């Protein structure tokens, strides 16, 4: 962090100017006093202007080869440093030091050297800084002895340089000497002692000695508070210490304390010197890092941008201080999955670093590796390769061919080659990297694990199972002994080992390895890194259970696979509701407090795991086993606390628990929720096959479906061409393909569901875009006309009422926590939103893109929305017709400019039994990044944080409903020809949490007349026969439309089949 240098009073130097004229002396004295006052009060720009006038005056009167001129340059350099102009500062200070060395004034030499060292370090000229520091220490020791207070600055400089080199033991020796000297000198001021406490306390934090570091930093704060009283916040070094304390809490995984401390430091600094001050912007950047670590990416992004703006304003666009701000923002974008946004920032960092440090600097090589990684993540592997290779040349040339940076880059190149199928080259690079790492760290060090994993994956890809088992056996031994049996890396290694066993067809061994990996992952369910590993595990676990049982799993196997399938389903939809948790945490009620605690503990657990891994990565002789033990103990405590708060949320706030992170149900729990006439079907699609789990009150079964996820996508996409394709081209619905898909999906469980008239279906992947009622249960009559075939087809809806659920466990929330509606009004509707500024003249396809397309991170991309979504004028008449049939007032239909997010929030929605949104639903496509599923309302000309035109899932969850039905009648659950609407799960859960019992959702934009008939028909059936339930009411409405002769197209599934019931259909 940039440190403000205190004024070294020039008056002491120029107070005697020889035989100068009196008026000239008065001028120098006056300027010197003004400059000192500006420096002591932090007015650096004003001080610099005065110093430059004084430089010219002394130059004219006394020349440049004297101590007075050196003193002027010293103070001018100090002001430049404080303003962040490090190169100019270094030039002035270097000239001043050269003059002082001629006059052998040791005390003055030390003062100038200390500031010069700081400027050189900010310029990353570490070798030059070390030379100056060693010279200063030697001169001071010779002149004053080893324990003089005037040596403290030189010792602190040496310690600071050692710290940047991560030579913490040497840095500790210097800082401890400096502190001891200052504490024993009566002439040293409290701010100087506090600075020494800060240096040592901050170092202890970096060493993982958090308690010791906290003690020293608090001691420094107390010293300044005692000396300055209520003015302590304005004392030199007070804010630096407070900032370092916040960073220590961050490193220790104490994120709530880190956030509170850094917010306090930033607020005090902002009030004292303003947002533009370099130290204040650093505090804000540190606060943003804490928020980012808590996955509060949108908040962090805003602060990172603010820091970047302040740094560019203060230092210009190409200053070293800007590099850190750009890096932080780029990392934030990458964490959000916004690699395309991160890349330009990384490229800008590269340009600045090349200018500052030269094209062959190791700092440049580090940026090249980051850019190459981004290229790799975005499918631009060919562009990544030359960057990796250039970085390798730099590291090898500058740091040596046996540098660990060289090894890391070799391993990265090896992984790149492995992905490209260049197996021989990959093997060579992995071997070279491993040899370097073994020489640097030893043969059983945790830092070897990523490279060993690369070697193992190479052996797996080439089916060399013996080598893979050997390498993974070594990796597992290292992970278990160095990281612990419950570390994520240990679980990941076991998963890889199960792949070896499966490849060798040793399925019982594979199953045992997966079960061993499962425990630590399940305990971390919901944390970022564990989620991906848990998905990898569950896919393999389902296959292994099926294979080991020979396709006939027993009750225990079905139960275990059923839980895995639910977790896998939840993992794929998890991001769809991720932001809802952060929205809830921002509230002030009891739920918000508990959720904040849960989020903090999750973030702390991940932070501690990373810290343990980093400490285990220390070279031999520098590993702190005591610290590692303490961190593990703290991690165990955090895990216990996380379990307790999660259990409390599940117990005290069950509706929220179901909304945010539903736990899998056992088969017995699912059976207990079902009615005698119901069967629940859970589908899970894998890369090579799919599975269906069928559960009734009496039985449970797991069956294989001989279709892969890709096969299902192709078949659903083909069927949807005959339902809706976004164009005027009419494609007949393929009844034969419909029957074939029905046979594949339902025949394996036909026996268990045959006597159950109600199906509760939990779809996944492409099946989320399929209205199951369009499946045909018997082979169609090939000789009939197309119209007759439609009217006489054995649609599944003829025999079964169908209810779609976002998850298996959602039925628990819907049935155990549901209430009877007390709403007094029949209907409220919102539709025909204003989407385009030109009144809808722009021609737009009726297709939609994946919903993540309409976001940049968490922010809505209004321009893309305007250009990508078609107007919906027909929804106005549709809503008015439904309102009329239900007896609603005209004022309860909000159209056009009145169909806004703001009006939805202001409406007393809990007074209405039916809430209808006839507008685009952004639910299509895979869940990606931090975008939320949403309903599109009128897009404001000037979006705000409260109303950007999207009624997102997190906003829905904050509404208060008491509705029997929430209707979404213009959704499209496929992006172009790619089916899949995983975002629908998150949106549905949000509506359930808000108080809706069921959603009536369209899979494609519905013809208005059909929409009115289908919705009002279902409402009427339920009103007349409340005992039948919503799913049966919708079934009857669909069958009535099929049989309705008023329009020959009524029998076409594109007309009668768009709606599905999501939620409580019983």
Neighbours of 730 (CB within 10 A): 11
At residue 337, φ and ψ (nearest 5 deg) are 80, 15
- Helix, strand, coil abundance in the chain, percent, nearest 5: 65, 10, 25
Indicate whether this model's pTM tops 0.85. Answer: no
- C-alpha distance across the termini of the chain, in Å: 62
Residue 423 has pLDDT above 60, yes or no: yes
Confidence check: pLDDT of 596 > 80: no
> What is the per-residue pLDDT for 550?
96
> Which H or E run contains 1059?
strand 1059-1063
Reported as a pLDDT band with limits 50, 70 and 90, residue 944 is confident
> Residue 699: is its pLDDT beyond 90?
yes
Domain that holds residue 873: 823-1005
Here the tokens at position 614 are 């980093």
- Residues with Cβ within 8 Å of 473's Cβ and at least 6 positions away in sequence, in order, are 497
Q: Determine contact, residues 659/803, Cβ cutoff 8 Å.
A: no
Task: Report residue 396's pLDDT band, with 50, 70 and 90 as the boundaries.
Answer: very high
**Given this model, what pLDDT does residue 224 score?**
94
What is the enclosing helix (H) or strand (E) of 30? helix 22-40
pLDDT at 1008: 83
Among the candidates 769, 804, 839, a domain finishes at 804
Arithmetic mean of pLDDT, 295-304: 82
Domain assignment present for residue 541? The answer is: no
- One domain for residues 954 and 866: yes
- Please report which confidence band the pLDDT of residue 930 belongs to, taking 50, 70 and 90 as the band edges: very low
Shared domain for 787 and 839, answered yes or no, is: no
Asked if residue 1060 has pLDDT above 50, the reply is yes
Q: What is the DSSP letter of 482?
A: I
Burial (0-12, 13-18, 19+ Cβ within 10 Å), 841? exposed
Q: pLDDT confidence of 617, banded at 50, 70, 90?
A: low
As beta bridge partners, residue 759 has 679, 802
Answer yes or no: is pLDDT of 800 > 70.
yes
> Which pLDDT does position 579 carry in this prediction?
40
- What pLDDT is attached to residue 584? 46
Least confident interval from 242-251, 280-289, 294-303, 604-613: 604-613
pLDDT for 27 equals 78
Rounded Cα–Cα distance for residues 612 and 206 (Å):
13
pLDDT at 9 over 70: no
Residue 342: exposure state from Cβ atoms within 10 A (0-12, 13-18, ≥19): buried
Whole-number mean pLDDT of the chain? 85
721 token code pair: 């061409």
Same domain assignment for residues 790 and 830:
no
Same structural domain for residues 104 and 194? yes
In this predicted structure, the answer to whether residue 528 has a pLDDT above a threshold of 90 is no
CA 604 remoteness from chain centre: 15
> Averaged over 632-636, what is the pLDDT?
76
pLDDT of residue 929 exceeding 50, the answer is no
pLDDT band for position 785 (cuts 50, 70, 90): confident
Q: Which pLDDT score, from 0 to 100, does residue 451 have?
A: 97
Q: Is 869 helix (H, G, I), strand (E, B) or coil?
A: coil
Is 133 inside any structural domain? yes
In the chain, the number of structural domains is: 3
Residue 20 has pLDDT above 50, yes or no: no
* Same domain flag for 730 and 831: no
CA 514/CA 509 separation, integer angstroms: 9
User: Which residues lie below 8 Å from residue 546, measured CB to CB, with a gap of 6+?
Assistant: 553, 561, 691, 702, 704
Among 245, 267, 302, give the residue marking a domain's end: 245
The predicted-structure confidence for 979-1018, as pLDDT tens digits, reads as follows: 666 667 778 878 887 888 889 998 888 888 888 999 999 9
In terms of domains, do 99 and 157 share one? yes
User: In this structure, is residue 184 part of a structural domain?
Assistant: yes
What are the tens digits of pLDDT across the range 707-731? 999 999 999 999 998 987 555 556 7
pLDDT range class, residue 13, cuts 50, 70, 90: very low
The answer to whether 772 and 761 have CB atoms below 8 angstroms apart is yes
Whether 948 is covered by a domain: the verdict is yes
Average pLDDT for 805-831: 84
770/831 same-domain check? no
pLDDT of the residue at 609: 63
* Torsion angle, alpha carbons of 785, 790, 793, 795, to 10: 160
Judge whether 736 and 794 are in contact, CB under 8 Å: no
Region 411-418: mean pLDDT is 95
pLDDT at 474 exceeding the cut of 80: yes
861-869's contacts with Cβ under 8 Å and 24+ in sequence apart are: 862/939, 862/943, 862/948, 862/949, 865/835, 865/936, 865/939, 865/949, 865/950, 866/835, 866/836, 866/837, 866/842, 866/939, 867/842, 868/844, 869/835, 869/844, 869/920, 869/936
- Check whether 913 has a pLDDT greater than 90: yes
Query: What's the confidence (pLDDT) of residue 941?
Result: 87
pLDDT of 96 higher than 60 = yes
For 1037-1041, what is the mean pLDDT?
96
Judge whether 733 lies within some domain.
yes
Cβ-in-10-Å burial (0-12, 13-18, 19+) of 754 comes to exposed
Query: What pLDDT score was predicted for residue 747?
Result: 96
Residue 215 backbone phi and psi in degrees, to 5:
-60, -45
Which residue intervals of 504-624 are DSSP H helices?
Answer: 507-523, 528-548, 555-585, 590-616
pLDDT of residue 17: 33
Residue 124 gets the label, from left (phi > 0), alpha (psi -120 to 50) or beta, of left
Q: Which residues pair with 1001 in a beta bridge?
A: 968, 1060
Enumerate residues 6+ apart whose C-beta is below 8 A from 892.
825, 827, 828, 829, 883, 912
Give the least confident one: 296-300, 475-479, 502-506.
Answer: 296-300
Cα–Cα dist 816/1064, whole Å: 11
Percent of the chain with pLDDT over 70: 86
Q: What 8-state DSSP symbol labels residue 795? A: B
Q: How many residues does the chain have?
A: 1066
Burial of 884 (0-12, 13-18, 19+ CB in 10 A): middle
* DSSP alpha helix (H) spans, 252-361: 255-273, 278-293, 297-315, 320-335, 339-357
Residue 107 shares a structural domain with residue 177:
yes
Bridge partners of residue 935, in order along the sequence: 921, 951
pLDDT number for residue 862: 80
- 39-48, 401-410, 523-532, 864-873 — which one is most confidently predicted on average? 401-410
Contacts of 923 (CB under 8 A, 6+ apart): 851, 933, 971, 973, 981, 982, 983, 984, 987
Instruction: Provide the pLDDT for residue 599.
Output: 63
State the CATH number of the domain containing residue 722.
Answer: 3.30.420
On whether residue 960 sits in a domain, the answer given is yes
Q: What DSSP element (H or E) covers 193?
A: helix 190-206
Average of per-residue pLDDT across 538-547: 97
Q: Identify whether residues 886 and 779 lie together within a single domain.
A: no
Compute the average pLDDT of residues 1033-1060: 93
593 or 126: which leads in pLDDT: 126
The strand pair at 855-856 and 921-922 is best described as: unpaired
> Is the predicted pLDDT of residue 461 greater than 60, yes or no?
yes
Q: Is 29 exposed, middle or buried (0-12, 13-18, 19+ CB in 10 A)?
A: middle
Are residues 96 and 229 part of one domain? yes
| CATH code, domain with 183 | 1.25.40.10
Closest CA to 363 of 94, 164, 631: 164
886 found inside a domain = yes
pLDDT score for 526: 54
- Express each pLDDT in 945-969 by its tens digit: 788 899 988 888 888 899 999 999 8
Q: With pLDDT > 90 as the criterion, what percentage of the chain qualifies?
A: 46
Q: 691: which strand partners?
A: 684, 704
Q: Are 281 and 310 in contact (CB under 8 A)?
A: yes
Instruction: For residues 856 and 793, state if they share a domain.
Output: no
Q: Same structural domain for residues 62 and 115?
A: yes
Stronger pLDDT, 655 or 61, i.e. the higher one: 61
Residue 704, sorted as left (phi over 0), alpha (psi -120 to 50) or beta, turns out to be beta
Does residue 239 or residue 1 have the better pLDDT?
A: 239
Task: Find tokens 């035989």 and name the residue.
Answer: 19
b/e 401-413 (16+ beta carbons within 10 angstroms → b): eebbbbbbbbbbb
Contact in structure between 297 and 930 (CB atoms under 8 Å): yes
Domain boundary among 744, 771, 804: 804
Asked if residue 568 is part of any domain, the answer here is no
């Amino acid at each position: 962090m940039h440190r403000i240098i205190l004024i070294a009073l020039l008056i002491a130097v120029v107070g005697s100017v020889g035989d100068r004229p009196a008026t000239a002396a008065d001028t120098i004295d006056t300027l010197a006093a003004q400059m000192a006052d500006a420096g002591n009060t932090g007015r650096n720009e004003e001080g610099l202007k005065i110093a430059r006038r004084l430089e010219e005056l002394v130059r004219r009167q006394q020349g440049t080869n004297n101590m007075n001129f050196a003193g002027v340059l010293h103070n001018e350099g100090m002001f430049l440093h404080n303003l962040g102009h490090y190169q100019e500062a270094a030039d002035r200070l270097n000239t001043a030091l050269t003059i002082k060395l001629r006059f052998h004034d040791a005390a003055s030499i030390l003062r100038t050297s200390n500031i010069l060292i700081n400027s050189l370090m900010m310029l990353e000229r570490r070798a030059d800084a070390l030379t100056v520091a060693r010279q200063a220490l030697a001169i001071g020791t010779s002149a004053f002895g080893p324990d003089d207070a005037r040596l403290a600055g030189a010792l602190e400089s040496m310690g600071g340089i050692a710290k940047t080199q991560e030579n913490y033991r040497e840095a500790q020796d210097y800082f401890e000497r400096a502190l001891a000297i200052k504490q024993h000198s009566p002439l040293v001021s409290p701010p100087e002692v506090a600075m020494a406490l800060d240096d040592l306390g901050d170092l202890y934090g970096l060493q993982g000695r958090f308690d010791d570091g906290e003690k020293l930093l608090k001691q420094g704060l107390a010293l300044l508070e005692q000396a300055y009283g209520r003015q302590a916040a304005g004392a030199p070094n007070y804010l630096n210490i407070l900032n370092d304390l916040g960073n220590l809490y961050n490193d220790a995984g104490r994120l709530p304390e880190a956030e509170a401390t850094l917010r306090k430091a930033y607020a005090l600094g902002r009030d004292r010197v303003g947002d533009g001050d370099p130290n204040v912007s650093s505090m804000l950047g540190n606060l943003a890092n804490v928020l980012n670590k808590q996955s509060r990416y949108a908040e962090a992004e805003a602060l990172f941008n603010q820091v970047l703006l302040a740094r560019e304003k203060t230092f210009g666009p190409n200053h070293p201080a800007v590099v850190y701000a750009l890096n932080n923002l780029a990392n934030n974008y990458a964490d959000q999955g916004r690699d395309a946004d991160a890349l330009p920032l990384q490229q800008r960092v590269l340009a600045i670093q090349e200018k500052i440090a030269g094209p062959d600097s190791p700092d440049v090589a580090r940026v090249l590796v980051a850019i190459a990684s981004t290229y790799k993540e975005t499918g631009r592997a060919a562009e990544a390769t030359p960057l990796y290779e250039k970085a390798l040349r730099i590291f090898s040339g500058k740091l040596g061919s046996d540098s660990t940076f060289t090894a890391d880059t070799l391993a990265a190149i090896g992984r790149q080659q492995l992905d490209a199928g260049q197996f021989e080259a990959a093997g060579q690079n992995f071997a070279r990297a491993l040899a370097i790492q073994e020489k640097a760290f030893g043969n059983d060090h945790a830092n070897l694990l990523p490279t060993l994993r690369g070697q193992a994956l190479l052996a797996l890809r080439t089916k060399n199972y013996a080598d893979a088992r050997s390498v993974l056996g070594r990796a597992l031994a290292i992970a278990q002994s160095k990281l612990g049996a419950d570390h994520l890396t240990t679980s990941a290694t076991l998963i890889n080992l199960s792949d070896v066993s499966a490849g060798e067809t040793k399925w019982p061994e594979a199953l045992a390895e997966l079960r061993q990996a499962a425990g630590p992952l399940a305990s971390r369910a919901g944390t970022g890194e564990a989620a991906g590993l848990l998905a990898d595990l569950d896919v393999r676990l389902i296959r292994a259970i099926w294979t080991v049982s020979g396709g006939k799993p027993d009750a225990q196997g079905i139960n275990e696979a059923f839980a895995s399938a639910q977790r896998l389903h939840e993992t794929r939809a998890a991001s769809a509701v991720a932001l809802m948790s952060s929205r809830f945490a921002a509230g002030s009620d009891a739920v918000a407090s508990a959720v904040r605690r849960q989020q903090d503990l999750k973030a702390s657990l991940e932070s501690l795991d990373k810290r343990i891994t980093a400490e285990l990565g220390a070279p031999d002789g520098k590993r702190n086993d005591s610290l590692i033990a303490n961190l593990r103990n703290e991690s165990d405590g955090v895990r216990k606390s996380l379990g307790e708060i999660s259990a409390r949320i599940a117990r005290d706030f069950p509706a929220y628990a179901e909304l945010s992170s539903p736990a899998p149900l056992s088969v017995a729990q699912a059976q207990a929720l079902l009615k005698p006439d119901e069967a629940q079907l859970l589908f899970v699609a894998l890369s090579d096959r799919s599975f269906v789990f069928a559960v009734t009150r009496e039985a449970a079964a797991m069956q294989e479906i001989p279709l892969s996820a890709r096969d299902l996508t192709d078949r659903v996409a083909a069927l949807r061409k005959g339902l809706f394709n976004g164009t005027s081209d009419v494609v007949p619905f393929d009844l034969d393909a419909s029957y074939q898909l029905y046979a594949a999906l339902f025949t394996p469980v036909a026996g268990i569901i045959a006597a159950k008239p109600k199906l509760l279906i939990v779809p996944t992947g492409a099946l989320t875009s399929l209205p199951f009622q369009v499946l045909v249960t018997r082979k169609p009559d090939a000789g009939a006309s197309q119209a007759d075939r439609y009217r006489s087809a054995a649609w599944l809806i003829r025999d079964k009422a169908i209810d779609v659920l976002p998850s298996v466990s959602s039925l628990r929330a819907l049935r155990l926590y549901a209430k009877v509606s007390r709403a007094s009004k029949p209907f409220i509707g919102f539709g025909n939103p204003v989407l385009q500024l030109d009144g809808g003249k722009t021609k737009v396809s009726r297709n939609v893109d994946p919903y993540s397309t309409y976001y940049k991170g968490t922010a809505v991309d209004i321009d893309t929305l305007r250009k990508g979504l078609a107007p919906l004028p027909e929804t106005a008449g549709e809503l008015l017709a439904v309102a009329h049939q239900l007896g609603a007032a005209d004022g309860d239909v909000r159209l056009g400019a009145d169909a806004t997010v703001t009006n939805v929030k202001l409406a007393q929605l809990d007074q209405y039994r039916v809430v209808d949104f006839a507008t685009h639903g952004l639910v299509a496509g895979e869940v990606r990044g931090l975008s939320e599923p949403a309903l599109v309302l009128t897009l404001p000309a000037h979006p705000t944080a409260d109303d950007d035109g999207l009624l997102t899932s997190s906003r829905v969850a904050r509404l208060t409903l008491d509705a029997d039905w929430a209707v979404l009648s213009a959704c499209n659950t496929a992006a172009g020809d790619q089916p899949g609407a995983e975002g629908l799960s998150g949106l549905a859960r949000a509506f359930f949490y808000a108080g809706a019992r069921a959603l009536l959702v369209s899979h494609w934009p519905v013809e208005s007349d059909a929409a009115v008939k289908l919705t009002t028909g279902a409402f009427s059936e339920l009103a007349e026969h409340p005992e039948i339930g919503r799913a049966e009411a919708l079934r009857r409405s669909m069958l009535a439309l099929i049989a309705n002769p008023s329009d020959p197209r009524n029998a076409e599934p594109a007309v009668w089949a768009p709606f599905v019931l999501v939620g409580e259909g019983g």
